[in-house]
Homo-oligomer: A and B are copies of this chain.
Amino acid sequence: MKEAIKIGLLGSGTVGSGVVRVLRENMEEITARVGTRLVLAKVLVRDVKKPRPYLEGVELTDRVEDILEDDEISIVVEVMGGIKPAKDYMLRALAAGKNVVTANKDVVAQYGHELFDMAEAHDADFRFEASVGGGIPIIMPLKQCLTANRITEIMGIVNGTTNYMLTKMSECGASYDDVLKEAQEKGYAEANPSADVDGLDAARKAAILSSIAFNTRISLDDVSVEGITKITPDDIAYAKNLGYVVKLLAIGKETDEGINVRVHPVFLPEEHPLASVNGVFNAIFVRGNAVGEAMFYGPGAGSLPTASAVVADIIDVARDIVNHSFGRVNCTCYRKKVLCPIEKTRSSYYVRLLVEDKPGVLGAIATAFGNADVSLQSVIQTQRDKKEHAEIVAITHCVPHANILTALDVLNALPVVSEVRNLIRVENDRG
């Protein structure tokens, strides 16, 4: 058996303490699996005096140099979060020839290429399985298990907070504000929930997943983003009636027009494998030209689940150390593909309108859609409001986004239309 492999941990919050626990509790198995002992040598903390019973026996430091300049440490695990100084520390670790494992979606989504370049230059591993889908294996499955495929589509429920909220809204007809409050009380949503409900967190993951699926660098700025704040119980009720559930999806598709990557709420057919993924669970659905469809399901966050992914990366790096096979699978963005502008993306749409309740309105609306080159799959007038108003719900055929924008302009200009209440994409093109 080789000498022990030494690990330096940067940060010991939710994920970091999980990593410590998993390494401790499963050390016997892990040693047998790697063929070498892994040792947690040093942990970077902000305050070395703060009592941390779970770190007993481990050297604490508040100077990152103690880790980055320690020649015996070969794996640096970054679980501090944020861009600064995490990115800088990782670059320095790689430059020093150390292998880096991180859970940091912020850095990977925005600066992944810098880290990969540095890893390649120094023949080191850079791993980030935990950055998407928490404990769900998805990065390695994409890079290795599905690598015989040309992937054409990847769609994920990658934010537990919003999935919990939408699930609750769907189960009890509760309002957005009520479920947000409940999610905050349960610790599923932050006091400032913006990164989750506005879709930014999902957008980072969309960028990471798409970069790998399509072998071309997609950065956060390339992702078009829309959150769930406009979803009402009415939308969810209409969805149910029509055989759909509402989910916030991170979507990447490769079409003849290029790659398009986006985050937005979606009407998903009840039979879709992602439709029954509820609560804080996450899942990623992949379509490839050989496998057809596959899905990966599990806990998208949490101390131990996320540590499961981080420690798997550590073990894989350790296997590379044992076998001298660094960089066996690093950056897979070997192409430069064009992006498809959002206006050219195609989808079916659900459009909900508040209109005057008088004869001929339905005809006028249908004509307006037609004039914008949007053909309709169905249109129903329902739910009479008080005061001479009615709601119209239209489901369109698959049309370019530009057409639907034109249609909305035309509809808004119609005197009978009081309000466009919502516009949500409908995912219909399965199988």
Contact = CB atoms under 8 A, between A and B. Distances in A.
A304 B292 contact: yes
B325 A30 contact: no
Interface of A: 18, 22, 25-26, 29-30, 32-33, 129, 135-137, 140-141, 144-150, 215, 273, 276, 288-299, 302, 304-305, 307-312, 314-316, 319-320, 323-325, 328-329, 332, 334-335
Given A292-B304, A292-B305, A297-B297, 8 more contacts: A22-B290, A25-B289, A26-B289, A148-B309, A149-B308, A292-B302, A293-B298, A328-B328
B294 A136 contact: yes
Nearest to A138: B145
B291 A135 contact: yes
Contacts of A314: 148
B141 A137 contact: yes
Q: List 8 tightest A-B contacts by C-beta distance, closest first.
A: A137-B145, A148-B311, A325-B325, A294-B298, A290-B308, A291-B308, A295-B297, A135-B291
Contacts of A144: 140, 312, 315-316
Nearest to A149: B308
A297 B294 contact: yes
B308 A288 contact: yes
A308 B136 CA distance: 21
Contacts of A335: 32
Contacts of A295: 295-298
A299 B288 contact: no
A292 B281 CA distance: 11
15 contacts: A22-B290, A25-B289, A29-B215, A33-B147, A135-B291, A136-B294, A144-B312, A147-B315, A148-B312, A149-B308, A276-B276, A294-B297, A294-B298, A295-B296, A324-B324
A136 B314 CA distance: 24
Given A289-B26, A332-B33, A147 B312 contact: yes
B312 A319 contact: no
Nearest to A311: B148
A398 to B, nearest CB: 25
Contacts of A310: 148
A148 B315 contact: yes
A353 B320 CA distance: 58
A146 B312 contact: yes
A26 B290 CA distance: 9
A422 to B, nearest CB: 27
Nearest to A299: B292
A215 B328 contact: no
Nearest to A148: B311
A298 B297 CA distance: 11
B32 A334 contact: yes
A296 B308 CA distance: 16
A128 to B, nearest CB: 13
Contacts of A146: 137, 308, 312
Contacts of A30: 147-148
Contact of A129 (B145, B316, B325): B145
Contacts of A141: 137, 140-141, 145
A127 to B, nearest CB: 11
Contacts of A148: 22, 26, 30, 307-312, 314-315
Contact of A291 (B147, B304, B320, B329): B304
Given A32-B334, A148-B30, A328-B323, A291 B305 contact: yes
B290 A305 contact: yes
A35 B33 CA distance: 28
A20 to B, nearest CB: 12
